[in-house]
């Protein structure tokens, strides 16, 4: 287990149950295992052995952190700074873009997608702070599977949810719980606070115990990788993107470890005759055998001393077969995690290939990236709808009451030539001069709403052509 790894405390679970909610079947042990592979802290990486002099030792296997590499790659190809989120209403769209930039949404969002793909579930949820004068500030907080406690759910998703985090108040550990629940047709945020395991009044610490968001839609957005949960039926939690690839993770790190163990174990060794050992200096003092770096000097076996005072032993290094085995393991890792067998192959320089080198004919990646984008789009639409609604009601934002459809435009240059499509669209606009092509370009590639795109177009006079 990682140092100070988070889990929902027992006293928090009891408080949620006392509030009338039955907690979901626990997947804590499975999520903990996934976290161990993601962080490289699994006990599998600790290898025990017995030395020739009968001493028990242990060492850490060398690792390229395959599980984290997989999750980091998925996050980078799905949600990045080139992703655009927009809505149809112009005022709301302008406010939204400014809010996302100010809240540092893109880098933090990508980190959340990485965690969500590692642990099977992640979420954004609204968090409000209120000043003494009543002024409110709103943030989108991020939670991974260890911090999420679903309260009401079905096949369509989670409709009520609790989010548990840890903070420190005057040096004392505090557990914060925010339950997003439906009450009277709107979502309320119920806050509970525990200091040193004892529940305290949250309003004494500046938080409202029951805050009516006046929002009729979900005030959070939960997403899971587009993989069926085979660990627990009817569970609201999802599956890690590498859940079916644990053996491939092991194979990858076994071959990586063997590759560099081979280099270390086949280093040059010098065997020295007794004539060079335990000699005395001019004062009659014994001179011990020189050890050298990594104990590369050894005494020759009894009876093996000959005319050579020392012999150098340098065995052959089996790099090529180990490299082939490493590539096989990487291929299985990519195939089982949805990237395709060629995604993580070594290039001629010995490093992993980049995404653009393998994406042109990688149909597996094209199929899977669409599935994952769809589930993340739903979560983003939920949380952005809540952000715009609460900004208008509680922050006084000058935006339309109905922001319209929330659209998410992903950067698909990993599987399509986005720049090429832009260049083709610009060439068509220049050649044909059709106004609606310009509007379509602004909507498709600049993430503007249709109304915004139309407002940027010069007025067109209607000319009677006689037809």
pLDDT at 233: 87
Is 323 among the domain residues? no
Give the pLDDT band of residue 7 (cuts 50, 70, 90): confident
Q: How far apart are CA 344 and CA 355, in angstroms?
A: 9
pLDDT at 463: 40
Instruction: Please name every residue paired with 406 in a beta bridge, in sequence order, or none if there are none.
Output: 87
Q: Is the pLDDT of residue 206 over 60?
A: yes
Least confident of 190-199, 213-222, 257-266, 333-342: 257-266
Of residues 255 and 413, the one with the higher pLDDT is 255
Question: Which tens digits make up the pLDDT trace of 31-89?
Answer: 999 999 999 999 999 988 777 667 788 889 999 999 999 999 999 989 988 899 999 99
CA distances in angstroms from 102 to 1, 136, 384, 387, 410, listed in the order given:
35, 16, 15, 14, 20
The model's pTM is: 0.78
pLDDT at 281: 60
pLDDT at 467: 35
Is 95 among the domain residues? no
Question: Which tens digits make up the pLDDT trace of 237-276?
Answer: 999 999 999 999 999 999 999 888 887 777 767 776 665 5
Is 44 among the domain residues? no
Q: Is the pLDDT of residue 306 over 60?
A: no
Judge whether 35 and 121 are in contact, CB under 8 Å: no
**Number of domains forming the structure of the chain:** 1
Is 293 among the domain residues? yes
Q: Is the pLDDT of residue 225 over 50?
A: yes
Average model confidence (pLDDT) across the chain: 83
Task: Determine how β-strand 310-313 pairs with β-strand 269-272.
Answer: antiparallel
Q: Is the pLDDT of residue 19 over 50?
A: yes
pLDDT at 261: 82
Of residues 214 and 283, the one with the higher pLDDT is 214
pLDDT at 260: 84
Q: How far apart are CA 180 and CA 159, in angstroms?
A: 9
Percent of the chain surpassing pLDDT 70: 78
Is 461 among the domain residues? no
Is 286 among the domain residues? yes
Q: Is the pLDDT of residue 174 over 70?
A: yes
Helix (H) or strand (E) holding 390: helix 363-394
Of residues 205 and 120, the one with the higher pLDDT is 120
pLDDT at 274: 61
pLDDT at 129: 86
Average of per-residue pLDDT across 9-24: 91
DSSP annotation string for 404-452? --EEEE---TTTS-HHHHHHHHHHHHHHH--HHHHHHHHHHHH---HHH
pLDDT at 237: 96
Question: Which tens digits make up the pLDDT trace of 307-348?
Answer: 566 677 666 777 888 889 999 999 999 999 998 888 888 765
Judge whether 208 and 130 are in contact, CB under 8 Å: yes
Give the pLDDT band of residue 462 (cuts 50, 70, 90): very low
Question: Which tens digits make up the pLDDT trace of 416-448?
Answer: 545 556 677 777 777 767 776 777 777 776 767
Is 256 among the domain residues? no
pLDDT at 110: 94
Of residues 248 and 286, the one with the higher pLDDT is 248
pLDDT at 290: 54
Nearest to 64 by CA among 314, 259, 237: 259
Task: Determine how β-strand 297-299 pairs with β-strand 269-272.
Answer: parallel
Q: How far apart are CA 213 and CA 215, in angstroms?
A: 5
Supply the range of the domain harboring residue 310: 267-314
Q: Is the pLDDT of residue 464 over 70?
A: no
Give the pLDDT band of residue 466 (cuts 50, 70, 90): very low
Judge whether 319 and 327 are in contact, CB under 8 Å: no
Is 291 among the domain residues? yes
Q: Is 208 helix (H, G, I), strand (E, B) or coil?
A: coil
Question: Which tens digits make up the pLDDT trace of 131-165?
Answer: 777 778 899 999 999 999 999 999 889 999 999 99
């Amino acid at each position: 287990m990682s140092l100070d790894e988070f889990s929902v405390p027992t006293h928090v679970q009891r408080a949620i149950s006392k509030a009338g909610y039955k907690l979901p079947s626990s997947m804590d042990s499975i999520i903990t295992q996934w976290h161990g592979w993601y962080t490289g802290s699994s006990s599998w990486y600790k290898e025990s052995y017995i030395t020739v002099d009968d001493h028990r030792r242990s060492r850490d296997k060398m690792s390229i952190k395959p599980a984290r590499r997989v999750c980091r790659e998925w996050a980078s190809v799905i949600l990045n700074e080139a992703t655009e989120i927009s809505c149809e209403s112009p005022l709301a769209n302008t406010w939204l873009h400014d809010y996302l930039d100010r809240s540092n949404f893109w880098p933090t969002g990508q980190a959340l997608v990485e965690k969500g793909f590692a642990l099977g579930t992640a979420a954004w949820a609204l968090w409000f702070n209120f000043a003494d004068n009543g002024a409110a500030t709103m943030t989108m907080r991020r939670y991974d599977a260890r911090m999420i406690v679903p309260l009401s759910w079905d096949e369509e998703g989670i409709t009520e949810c609790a989010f548990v985090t840890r903070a420190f108040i005057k040096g004392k550990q505090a557990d914060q719980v925010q339950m997003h629940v439906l009450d009277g047709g709107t979502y309320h945020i119920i806050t509970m606070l525990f200091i040193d395991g004892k529940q305290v009044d949250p309003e004494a610490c500046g938080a409202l115990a029951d805050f009516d968001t006046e929002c009729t839609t979900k005030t959070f957005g939960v997403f899971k990788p587009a993989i069926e949960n085979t660990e627990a039926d009817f569970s609201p939690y999802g599956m890690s993107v590498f859940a079916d690839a644990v053996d491939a993770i092991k194979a990858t790190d076994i071959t990586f470890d063997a590759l560099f163990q081979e280099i270390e174990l086949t280093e040059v060794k010098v065997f020295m005759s007794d004539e060079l050992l335990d000699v005395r200096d001019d004062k009659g003092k014994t001179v011990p055998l020189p050890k050298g770096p990594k104990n590369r000097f050894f005494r020759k076996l009894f009876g093996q001393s000959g005319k050579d005072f020392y012999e150098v032993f340098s065995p052959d290094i089996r790099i090529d077969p180990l490299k082939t085995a490493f590539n096989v393991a990487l291929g299985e890792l990519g195939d089982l995690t949805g990237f395709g067998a060629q995604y993580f192959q070594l290039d001629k320089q010995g490093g992993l290939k980049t995404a653009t080198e393998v994406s042109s004919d990688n149909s597996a990646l094209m199929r899977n990236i669409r599935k994952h984008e769809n589930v993340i789009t739903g979560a983003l639409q939920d949380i952005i709808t809540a952000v715009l609604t609460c900004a208008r009601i509680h922050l006084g934002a000058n935006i339309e009451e109905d922001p319209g459809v929330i659209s998410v435009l992903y950067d698909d240059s990993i599987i399509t030539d986005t720049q090429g499509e832009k260049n083709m669209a610009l060439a068509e606009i220049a050649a044909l001069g059709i106004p609606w092509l310009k509007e379509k370009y602004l909507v498709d590639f600049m993430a503007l709403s249709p109304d915004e795109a139309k407002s940027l177009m010069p007025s067109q006079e209607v000319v009677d052509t006689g037809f």
